[in-house]
């Protein structure tokens, strides 16, 4: 199935795109989508322990299951304010 991954800040720069389609097998989790993306862009691996995520514009866990067409956002550590 196909999910759309959105990337922000340094993660966006590493991947060279704000939005990336990622193919994952049925039953995949958010963490699986991250792993697939990090294989394409090894520099992302530096964020493996600090990244957080959202699915369809709600905070989620890396263990959350994905559905076809979901929008997954990966968030590097935040610095608003």
Residues within the interface to other proteins (CB under 8 A)? 6, 8-10, 12-13, 50-52, 54, 57-59, 73, 75-81
Q: What is the smallest separation between the CB atom of 55 and other proteins, expressed in angstroms?
A: 10
* CB of residue 9 to other proteins, shortest distance in Å: 4
Q: Of 69, 72, 67, whose CA–CA distance to 55 is shortest?
A: 72
Q: What angle do CA 35, 36, 39 make, to 5 degrees?
A: 85
We find the least distance from the C-beta atom of residue 2 to other proteins, in angstroms, to be 21
Token pair for residue 69?
């067409």
């Amino acid at each position: 199935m196909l999910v759309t991954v959105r990337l922000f800040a340094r993660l966006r720069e590493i991947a060279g795109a704000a939005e990336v389609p990622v193919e994952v097998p049925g039953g995949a989790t958010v963490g699986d989508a991250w792993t697939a993306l990090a294989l394409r862009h090894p520099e992302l691996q530096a964020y493996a322990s600090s990244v957080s995520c959202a699915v369809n514009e709600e905070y989620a866990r890396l263990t959350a299951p994905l559905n076809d067409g979901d929008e997954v956002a990966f968030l590097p550590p935040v610095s608003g304010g």
